[in-house]
Structure 1
Amino acid sequence: MEIGELKAFVEVAHRTSFRQAAEALFVTQPTVTARIQALERELGERLFDRSTRVVHLTEPGKLFLTHVERGMRALEDARTSVTDFRNSKTGVLRIAAARVIGTYVLPGILHAFRVKRPGVEIVIRTGRSAEVVEMVLNDEVQLGLTRFIQHPKLNAIHLYDEEIVLVTHPSHHFASQASVTLADVGREPLILYDPGSFYYDEISSACQRAGIVPNVVMQLDSIEATKKMVELGLGISLLPHSSFVQEQEIGTLTSVDIQGDYDVRLATTILHRKIAALAGPSRAFIDVVQELPLNRNSTHATAGEA
Structure 2
Amino acid sequence: MNFQQLRIIRETVRQNFNLTEASAALYTSQSGVSKHIKDLEDELGVQLFIRKGKRLLGLTEPGQALLGIVERMLVDADNIKRLADDFNKVDEGTLTIATTHTQARYVLPPIVNQFKKEFPKVHLILQQASPVEITEMLLQGEADIGIATEALTTEDNLASVPYYNWQHSIITPQNHPLTKKDNIRIEDLANYPIITYHGGFTGRSKIDTAFEEAGFDVDIVMSALDADVIKTYVELNMGVGIVNDVAYDPERDYRLKQIKTDIFGVNTTWIAVRKGHLLRGYGYEFISLCSPDADIRALKKVAYPDD
State the TM-score, normalizing by the size of structure 2: 0.62
Q: Is the 8 A contact 2:206 2:264 kept in 1?
A: no
1:216 and 2:217 aligned: no
Residue aligning to 1:49: none
Shift of 1:269: 0.9
Counterpart code for 1:241: D
Residue aligning to 1:48: none
**Cα distance in structure 2, aligned partners of 1:257 and 1:198:** 16
Residue aligning to 1:174: 178
Per the alignment, in what secondary structure is the counterpart of residue 263 of structure 2? coil
Counterpart code for 1:276: H
1:95 and 2:97 aligned: yes
Residue aligning to 2:119: 117
Aligned positions of 1:133-148 closer than 5 A: 133-148=135-150
Counterpart code for 1:287: S
**Cα distance in structure 2, aligned partners of 1:257 and 1:124:** 30
Aligned positions of 1:189-228 closer than 5 A: 189-228=193-232
Alpha-carbon deviations, 1:252-293, whole Å to 9, x = none? 2222244xx724322111110111233322112112222399
Aligned positions of 1:8-47 closer than 5 A: none
One of 69, 82, 85 as aligned partner of 2:89: 85
Distance 1:248 1:194, change over 3 A: farther
**Cα distance in structure 2, aligned partners of 1:108 and 1:247:** 18
**Cα distance in structure 2, aligned partners of 1:117 and 1:292:** 21
Counterpart code for 1:274: K
One of 228, 240, 243 as aligned partner of 1:239: 243
One of 254, 258, 268 as aligned partner of 1:251: 254
**Cα distance in structure 1, aligned partners of 2:112 and 2:272:** 17
Structure 2, unaligned runs of 5 or more: 1-83, 295-307
1:278 and 2:279 aligned: yes
Q: Is the 8 A contact 1:177 1:256 kept in 2?
A: no
Percent identity reads: 23
Distance 1:120 1:210, change over 3 A: same
Q: Is the 8 A contact 1:179 1:256 kept in 2?
A: no
**Cα distance in structure 2, aligned partners of 1:83 and 1:129:** 33
**Cα distance in structure 1, aligned partners of 2:208 and 2:167:** 15
1:290 and 2:282 aligned: no
Distance 1:102 1:229, change over 3 A: same
One of 104, 107, 110 as aligned partner of 1:108: 110
* Structure 1 consecutive aligned stretches of length 4 or more whose deviation exceeds 4 Å: 247-250
Tell me how many residue pairs correspond in the alignment: 209
**Cα distance in structure 2, aligned partners of 1:103 and 1:290:** 17
Distance 1:197 1:82, change over 3 A: closer
**Cα distance in structure 1, aligned partners of 2:252 and 2:139:** 38
Residue aligning to 1:19: none
**Cα distance in structure 1, aligned partners of 2:221 and 2:237:** 12
Alpha-carbon deviations, 1:45-70, whole Å to 9, x = none? xxxxxxxxxxxxxxxxxxxxxxxxxx
Shift of 1:159: 0.8
Of structures 1 and 2, the larger Rg is shown by 1
Shift of 1:94: 0.8
Shift of 1:176: 2.4
More displaced stretch, 274-283 vs 166-175: 274-283
Per the alignment, in what secondary structure is the counterpart of residue 179 of structure 1? coil
